[in-house]
Structure 1
Amino acid sequence: MLPTINLKSKRRTAPMNKIRAIAAIIILGCLAFALNGCQGQQKDADFSNASEVAKLATFECTYHNVAKIERESDKAWFIDLQNGKQEWFEYDATVDFGIDASKVHIDEPDEKGVVAITIPQGQVLTEPNIKADSVSDPLDANGFFASVTDDERKEALSKAQQDTLDRAYADDTMIASARNRAKTLLEQYVKNIGNSLNESYTVKWIDEE
């Protein structure tokens, strides 16, 4: 019976996320500026770009994995048959976190300038994506009469990928960060729209059911 694949994983957010956050703020300003130029004397707030703004909150998290293949050597009359297998390899896989932008809804501001935004919880948006150039050459300590097949390596990688996905789904910190990033961008978007109309808006959050 083959033992369970061992997997070590650590996460790190990609450096590009900071650049994306800065770009998102710039885009928000451009959206508000464009809206102001188009509206002229119109005083109705237009939040039709809310979904696009919510998508800007998506960020990438990288997991470094070690997938391991192990099979104990058979014995015959207490003689080791030297057919045991032990091999491992490393790779990086990325997972995107964010929110379902289609579920974001922004109400018209009330008489006090309060804008209600309905927002879903953060979530994992993609399955782990392997960085091809990060896959290391396999290291092994196989028995003299043993060799690891391509099918065994594929099985080990599949199990490692599922483990990575399970870890991402259980990563409350990253999931919460995804929602908080979306809230920050959406609030700035609403306030920019208000500023373009010479209005001061405040945001009230509503959890999407």
Structure 2
Amino acid sequence: MKKTILFFLAGVLMLCTASCGNSNTASVHLEPKTSQMKAICELAVMDCYYHNVAKFEEENAEGILWWQKDKHFWIEYSGVVTLGIDASLVSVDVKDTEVTITIPQATVLTCTVDSASLSEDSFIVEQGSAKVDADDEIVAFAAAQAQLKENASSDTALLASAQQRAQTLLEDYITNIGNAVGKEYSIKWVYLNTEETEVEASPAPSATGTVEPTPTPN
């Protein structure tokens, strides 16, 4: 996927160069386009692989009267979370050499527990627990999916890395356009919060810290 992004940017640059070579008028009107920037954001995602354990508990799950057992077991699972920018919310405004880009914060775009990672060995039942049945496994799978998304959504370092990745690629795109038409663009970032309202423009976040999941750029 990383190669796909590079090919996309190279294609944009070649189109820009061709436009400049064929017509001076065409080069004047060549400028950053929202549609192309949305396409870049759709490609600029980051996959993070998680391996985790989710706990399941149910009181008085089996038995009658005062002879009852609780149900306790753990499920070990792997999953993939895709982090990135919601491309539908990206917009650009160009005034001469000033480019204002409105962009949302990076979020969890998709979250999938790998069903292949779940087997009989993935379920660890506590000694003395009530029997675990197929319905419990379905509930545990849903809980694992929810936990996976929650963990990724709270990982500020990975989200910052995904944000920076998208903005860097957009900056490269704008620089390529500028080089093709002989302009030096300046970029102003306007960020949208989770309610999709604008917040004060500020520099792109930088990724810091050490994280357990392994991010793999697509």
TM-score (norm 1): 0.74
Q: Structure 1 CA distance, aligned partners of 2:105 and 2:71?
A: 44
Contact 2:45 2:85 in 1 (8 A): yes
Residue by residue over 1:2-52, the C-alpha shift from the partner in whole angstroms, topping out at 9 and shown as x without a partner, is xxxxxxxxxxxxxxxxxx335423321222212432463212223331110
RMSD: 2.9
Give the total of aligned pairs: 184
For 1:166, the equivalent position in structure 2 comes to 150
Q: Closer, same or farther in 2 for the Cα pair 1:205/1:132, shift >3 Å? A: same
Q: Structure 2 CA distance, aligned partners of 1:55 and 1:83?
A: 50
The answer to whether residue 11 in structure 2 is matched with residue 30 in structure 1 is yes
Which has more radius of gyration?
Answer: 1
Q: 2:166 aligns with which of 168, 182, 194?
A: 182
Which consecutive residues of structure 1, in runs of 5 or more, have no partner in the other structure?
Answer: 1-19
Contact 1:25 1:185 in 2 (8 A): no
Query: Which secondary structure does the structure 2 equivalent of 1:200 belong to?
Result: coil
Give the strand-richer structure, 1 or 2: 2
TM-score (norm 2): 0.71
Which consecutive residues of structure 2, in runs of 5 or more, have no partner in the other structure?
Answer: 193-197, 199-218
Contact 1:82 1:143 in 2 (8 A): no
Q: Closer, same or farther in 2 for the Cα pair 1:55/1:75, shift >3 Å? A: closer
Contact 2:75 2:140 in 1 (8 A): no
Q: CA deviation at 1:72?
A: 7.2
Q: CA deviation at 1:141?
A: 4.4
Give 1:200's aligned amino acid. E
Residue by residue over 1:70-104, the C-alpha shift from the partner in whole angstroms, topping out at 9 and shown as x without a partner, is 4678899x9xx695544333111111111111222
For 1:4, the equivalent position in structure 2 comes to none
The answer to whether residue 112 in structure 2 is matched with residue 132 in structure 1 is no
The sequence identity of aligned pairs, in percent, is 35
